[in-house]
Structure 1
Amino acid sequence: MRLSSFTLILALLPAFVAAQYDVPSAPFSLVVLSDNSTLNGTLLYACHEGAAIEGLCVGGTHDPAYNTYTHNTSSNAGEVNETLGAPGYLIWVLPGGTFNESEALSLNVNPISNVALPLFWPGTEDSTSVAFDSNGLLNIQGYFDDRVVPIVGSTSYVAYYRWYVCSTYYEGYTYQTLAWALGEFPPENPTCQSVSVKQVFL
């Protein structure tokens, strides 16, 4: 009996996980906001970083297939902080000859760098939850601070905006892409420039 119950739980788990972020937004583009006039107002588009793997490159294409996204939030989220925004998955759809593959954004961490690379991968496994605040700005939220002793937890989330545009390298590809700084200190990559990322509905 235990085995069959466990088997049932395993069978239902993928559906449960997939349903957590089951409400797609209207389509939108992602626009870079920066003090650098060359970057300010440019679009982020999905650029090839490997087999069915895409980064978020700056400028270069206005093809809607490569710069249109949705944000999938949860129908079971309960009370949401409208100022910080509802967490969910940032989704881009990979167009294929005979298929369309939904890919969710996740942060690829290099253990010897404090710069993480946002990448789209097929499916939602290991995806990073992100949100758009009341001003449409992309953030990642957390609820504890490990910079102090003892570690301070909170009953509410805090939004972080550690986005940069940097010259990045992944699997042989070098681009100017969106990046995320791990921690509060500036990125060690000297090419990084601080930016905000704004959701602009189509």
Structure 2
Amino acid sequence: MIAGVFALATSTVSAQYLNQSAPFALILISDNDTVNGSALIACHEGAAIEGLCIGAVVVGAPTTAYTFNYSAAETVDPAIGVTGLLTYELSGGNFNVSSPMELVYNPASNVAVPLLTPSENGQEVAFDDQNMLAIAQYIDDTLAGSPNPYNPKLLYRWYVCTTYEGYTYQTLAWVLGNGTPQNPTCVKVDVLRVFS
């Protein structure tokens, strides 16, 4: 177990995401017909900060293009697969800058909001063999006190909620812990990667 945790710490510190996938769209899958099939589009939340807002999919209309930046290093655990950064390229009049996704936490809520911000760091994510977006769990605190709390698996705690991180939008959100979101507007979704 200690070796696994050490390997995780080492890979997180030294990760260099030099490989990049082809561009793709992010499409919501949900039992809720209002959001099912909608694309996630970049929306302005502040200076060089974008949210992941819900947008309608219209046949032939452009969607926001994202990429997955990852390291060529071996994966830490086969239950997780390849991890890396979900990235959006922010373009301006005379610049293009890479903006990985990071989760912004509100200590008064169990709902975190993903934002795309120019940086070299961000929240590590993974895509499973069905192209669904996930975040890896390595240590399971529900097993705290047991001899081995190392329980690697992919988590899918995605929702669409009305959020405020600069502007009020309907955005992608991540629920902390294994409970339900305290934000009453949240609707459960999965996030599907669709290559162009």
* TM-score interval for Structure 1 and Structure 2 normalised by the shorter chain: 0.7 to 0.9
**Equivalent residue, structure 2, for 1:5:** none
**Equivalent residue, structure 1, for 2:65:** 68
**Equivalent residue, structure 1, for 2:195:** 201
- Counterpart-to-counterpart distance in 2, 1:141 and 1:121: 21
Identity across matched positions, percent = 49
Q: TM-score, normalised by structure 1?
A: 0.83
The answer to whether the Cα contact below 8 Å between 1:45 and 1:61 also exists between their aligned partners in 2 is no
Count of matched residue positions in the alignment of Structure 1 and Structure 2: 181
Matches within 5 A, 1:33-182: 33-60=29-56, 64=62, 67-78=64-75, 81=78, 84-125=80-121, 127-150=122-145, 152-154=148-150, 157-171=152-166, 173-182=167-176
| SS of aligned partner of 1:147 | helix
Q: Output one character per residue of 1:125-145: Cα deviation in whole Å (capped at 9) or x when no partner.
A: 3x1000000000000001111
Q: Output one character per residue of 1:124-175: Cα deviation in whole Å (capped at 9) or x when no partner.
A: 23x1000000000000001111123315422x6210000000000112x000
The answer to whether the Cα contact below 8 Å between 2:85 and 2:123 also exists between their aligned partners in 1 is yes
Specify the code of the residue in structure 2 equivalent to 1:67: T
Q: 1:79 to 1:150 in 2, by over 3 A?
A: closer
1:78 is displaced (CA, Å) by: 4.4
| SS of aligned partner of 1:134 | coil
Q: Output one character per residue of 1:35-78: Cα deviation in whole Å (capped at 9) or x when no partner.
A: 111211110001000000011000158764x6100001111134
The answer to whether the Cα contact below 8 Å between 1:115 and 1:182 also exists between their aligned partners in 2 is yes
The answer to whether the Cα contact below 8 Å between 1:94 and 1:103 also exists between their aligned partners in 2 is yes
Tell me, yes or no, if structure 1 residue 187 matches structure 2 residue 181: yes
Unpaired segments of 5 or more residues in structure 2? 1-12
Unpaired segments of 5 or more residues in structure 1? 1-15
| SS of aligned partner of 1:130 | strand
Choose 1 or 2 for highest CA Rg.
1
